[in-house]
Structure 1
Amino acid sequence: MASKKPTVNPKSGSAKIDIGISESDRAKIAAGLSGLLADSYTLYLMTHNFHWNVKGPMFNTLHLMFMTQYTEQWGALDLIAERIRALGYPAPGTYKQFVELASIKEIEGVPPALEMVRHLVSAQEATARTARALFPLLEKANDQPTADLITQRLDLHEKTAWMLRSLLEE
């Protein structure tokens, strides 16, 4: 069986992408994933910052919990960025781009420990909302790999938000 040579895009000189998802849908999915990447990076940075700066009676518990969370979040950044690249688009990678794309706003200063937890609950939930908003487009485009990635991210963000909220209950 003869192998089929990839079609080359005359504008860019790169191989044309023919994965069964239209270029228009790939562009929309990549844009949505870019927003998720920006929220995820902002959440990562917030969690790492709080890990460094938490203090008080819950120091050890929160310090370790935040480390687990930012470590997991760091790995997710690569998965999201690589999916954007697999769809044929550049992944955002600058602070300027992340600030423009993120729905999560930076926290100034060093809040008290339980306020850190409240901020992280809010940021986890915001990231889940950003991820969930992609599903209608993914279903329309029949993009199972991205849907699988989003499902995994949603499960983690919702579980993490629940665990953090539990710390705020009496």
Structure 2
Amino acid sequence: MAAKGDNSKAELVTGLNGLLADHVALYFKTKNFHWHVTGPDFRDLHLLFDEQATAIFGQVDVIAERVRKNGAATLTSLGTIAAAASIKDQDRGDLSPKQMITELRDENAALVESLKALKDVADKAGDNATDGLIDDWTDMAEQRVWFLSNLLA
């Protein structure tokens, strides 16, 4: 467990709230692409983007609960989510399917790196439960990267 006066728990909470924001932002971006994809692979990509968005959204509540279980407040509004997210908005609805796939692959790959960094923070804070969940979240993000990468191969 983190020693008294150790800032590792505060760092973990900040990291978890950032992760929460990134999941909400990535959910919306993936749904945006689900709604706007066109072309000959429409059906397959429409279904894939929806499946990935659903999986991402399924992690949101668990991440928020880890923040609360660490005795802190979660993000409270769209403004706090936007301020904490590293995932950038994509307001265009006319991207090509390849552009959508590339953007989602890259955002998910960046999420994997954030998760790996957060795992070290959870370990320093002595939060074994978060540490274990991060392994699952990393695996899910890596699977999305793998699927999206293979669409570009």
Q: Which residue of 40, 53, 69 corresponds with 1:70?
A: 53
CA distance in 2 between partners of 1:62 and 1:54 (Å): 7
Give the match for residue 143 of structure 2: 159
- Give CA deviations for 1:51-72 in whole Å, capped at 9, x if unaligned: 1111100100001101111111
Is 1:128 equivalent to 2:112 in the alignment?
yes
CA distance in 2 between partners of 1:68 and 1:48 (Å): 10
- Give CA deviations for 1:72-92 in whole Å, capped at 9, x if unaligned: 111100000010011011111
Give the match for residue 96 of structure 2: 112
Q: Which residue of 3, 22, 26 corresponds with 1:43?
A: 26
Given that 2:38 and 2:96 are in contact with CA atoms closer than 8 Å, whether structure 1 keeps it comes out as yes
Given that 2:67 and 2:73 are in contact with CA atoms closer than 8 Å, whether structure 1 keeps it comes out as yes
Give the match for residue 140 of structure 1: 124
TM-score of the superposed pair, with normalisation by structure 1: 0.83
Structure with the larger RCO, 1 or 2 (CA within 8 Å, 6+ apart):
2
Given that 1:37 and 1:77 are in contact with CA atoms closer than 8 Å, whether structure 2 keeps it comes out as yes
Structure 1 stretches lacking a partner, 5+ long: 1-19
Give the match for residue 59 of structure 1: 42
CA distance in 2 between partners of 1:116 and 1:156 (Å): 19
Runs of 4+ in 1 over 2 A off after TM superposition: 20-26
The alignment partner of 1:153 has SS state of: helix
Give the match for residue 6 of structure 1: none
Overall identity of the aligned pairs, in %: 36
Give the match for residue 13 of structure 2: 30
C-alpha deviation, 1:131, in angstroms: 1.3
CA distance in 2 between partners of 1:93 and 1:44 (Å): 17
Higher Cα radius of gyration: 1
Given that 2:75 and 2:81 are in contact with CA atoms closer than 8 Å, whether structure 1 keeps it comes out as yes
Q: How many residue pairs align between the two structures? A: 150
CA distance in 1 between partners of 2:109 and 2:31 (Å): 17
The alignment partner of 1:91 has SS state of: coil
CA distance in 2 between partners of 1:58 and 1:92 (Å): 37
Given that 2:108 and 2:145 are in contact with CA atoms closer than 8 Å, whether structure 1 keeps it comes out as yes
Q: Which AA in structure 1 matches 2:21?
A: A
Give the match for residue 13 of structure 1: none
Residues 79-98 of structure 1: pairs in structure 2 closer than 5 A: 79-98=62-81
